[in-house]
Amino acid sequence: MNDLSSDKISFTNLIDDVVDQNRCVACGACDAVCPVNVIKLDNFVPTLTGDCIECGICYNNCPRTDFDDQTLEESIHGRTRNEGERLTGVYSEVYAAKAIPSDIQERAQDGGVVTALVSQFLDEGGDAVIVAGLDEERPWLPKPVVARARKEVVQAAGTKYTPSPTLLGLKKAVKEDKLEKVAVVGTPCQMRGLTRLTIGPMKNVKYRDAVDLKVGLFCMETFSHDSFIEYLGENDVDPANVTKFEIKKGRFYAHAGEERLHRARLKKVKGLIRSCCDQCEDFASEYADISVGNVASPPGYSTVLVRTERGKQALESAIKSGLIEAGPIEDFEKGETLVHKLAEMKKSSH
């Protein structure tokens, strides 16, 4: 990794240390922060489109360069994680929860908590939420959407197992649309990029001021989109017919409504996983205000880790509005749930 204290840092350093090392997650942070706007993601790969002024801002906001966990945890929580939080990151409360509105339940991946939380955010005066929608032309190609209305966040519910460059959506919302109060939904790597660009040493004040809520997802892996589509074709699955993909209990599923189109052991799809995910140690979106996944809760429920005061307030207000119901997860503190097991797998693979 580059010695940040000496030479000027340029786009070349980002390519050398991140892209060429197969570490780039395609979050879009570098594009979103470049002050002279010379980075574009070309088919998920950062590319230089003009003259780099060697300011180092892209490098310092990338989630895959030296990420200073301790300093960032100190600035978010006033403390670093304790031994019981080694695998999960700092949190204050944990729940099994689900959304109550039927339109959210119908489209959601699990308990619909993410969609209910961001729907409440819009109801309370938030300008927009950055979510992962789908391209109109290419089936199951995710794209960041700046959703300003409840129906748009409901439309974007459900898990896409290939990457969406979420922070390009943030760039559009804040730099182009000039929105002042936004929420962002994303994977752990995206939450890390977002954290750097809102509170890191080379943060961007526009993003710092505009980002009001960070909703993180649990994440074990994402697939490369091209390989994923190829795999579906080889298994006679037309992606255009799929309404939901799912990974649960070691199996990968494709559904069309109530019909199951495809089922495979997870090891059969392991070859589709992006190489950057092999180098990832964050399962539970450790830098979000509130993190949501499915493991450790019953079917139809989401596991919710409340991390910050802002996350707590977002959950409480969604419960108060009748959008979410939440109950305890027994014995989470013992550290023996699937959340802990999967997080351990990620951390110990390095």
Ligand X SMILES: Cc1cc2nc3c(=O)[nH]c(=O)nc-3n(C[C@H](O)[C@H](O)[C@H](O)COP(=O)(O)OP(=O)(O)OC[C@H]3O[C@@H](n4cnc5c(N)ncnc54)[C@H](O)[C@@H]3O)c2cc1C
CA distance 190 to 263: 29
Q: Considering only the stretches 107-115, 199-207, 260-268, 305-313, report the one whose residues sit in contact with ligand X under the rule CB under 6 A.
A: 107-115
Answer with the entry of ligand X, ligand SF4, none that 112 interacts with (C-beta below 5 to 8 A by kind).
ligand X
CA distance 277 to 222: 7
Q: Considering only the stretches 83-91, 128-136, 218-226, 315-323, report the one whose residues sit in contact with ligand SF4 under the rule CB under 6 A.
A: 218-226
The footprint of ligand X on residues 116-155 (CB under 6 A) is 131-132, 142
Q: What angle do CA 218, 282, 265 make, to 5 degrees?
A: 60
Burial class (CB in 10 A: 0-12, 13-18, 19+), 236: exposed
The pairing of strands 211-217 and 290-293 is parallel
What letter does residue 78 receive in the DSSP assignment? S
Mark out the alpha helices in 81-204 (DSSP H runs): 102-107, 113-123, 150-155, 166-171, 188-199
Answer with the entry of ligand SF4, ligand X, none that 183 interacts with (C-beta below 5 to 8 A by kind).
none
Does position 220 bind ligand X by CB under 6 A?
Answer: yes
In the bound complex, what is the minimum distance in angstroms from residue 13's beta carbon to ligand X? 26
In the bound complex, what is the minimum distance in angstroms from residue 331's beta carbon to ligand SF4? 26
Q: Considering only the stretches 56-64, 170-178, 213-221, 306-314, report the one whose residues sit in contact with ligand X under the rule CB under 6 A.
A: 213-221
Closest CA to 130 of 214, 32, 217: 214
Q: Considering only the stretches 27-35, 81-89, 170-178, 315-323, report the one whose residues sit in contact with ligand SF4 under the rule CB under 6 A.
A: 27-35
Q: To the nearest 5 percent, what fractions of the chain are helix, strand and coil? A: 40, 20, 40
CA distance 274 to 270: 9
Nearer to ligand SF4, 145 or 194 (CB): 194
Does position 197 bind ligand SF4 by CB under 6 A?
Answer: no
Nearer to ligand X, 159 or 204 (CB): 159
Q: Count residues near ligand X (CB under 6 A).
A: 33
Residue with the CB atom nearest ligand X in the bound state:
293
Q: Considering only the stretches 10-18, 71-79, 86-94, 250-258, report the one whose residues sit in contact with ligand SF4 under the rule CB under 6 A.
A: 10-18
Does position 36 bind ligand SF4 by CB under 6 A?
Answer: yes
- The contacts of residue 61 (CB under 8 Å, 6+ apart) are 29, 30, 32, 33, 193, 196, 197, 200, 202, 203, 204
Closest CA to 217 of 338, 101, 144, 304: 304
CB neighbours of residue 64 within 10 Å:
24
In the bound complex, what is the minimum distance in angstroms from residue 103's beta carbon to ligand X? 11
- Rounded to whole angstroms, what are the CA distances from 133 to 156, 185, 216? 5, 11, 16
Please pick, from the candidates 10, 88, 119, 166, the single residue that binds ligand SF4 as defined by CB under 6 A: 10
Does position 198 bind ligand X by CB under 6 A?
Answer: no
> How far apart are the two ends of the chain, measured CA to CA in Å?
17
The footprint of ligand SF4 on residues 282-341 (CB under 6 A) is 282
* Residues near ligand X, by CB under 6 A: 108-115, 131-132, 142, 156-161, 163-164, 166, 185-187, 217-220, 222, 292-295, 302
* Residues near ligand SF4, by CB under 6 A: 10-11, 14, 18-19, 24-30, 34, 36, 38-39, 46, 52-58, 62-64, 187-189, 193, 219, 221-222, 276-277, 280, 282
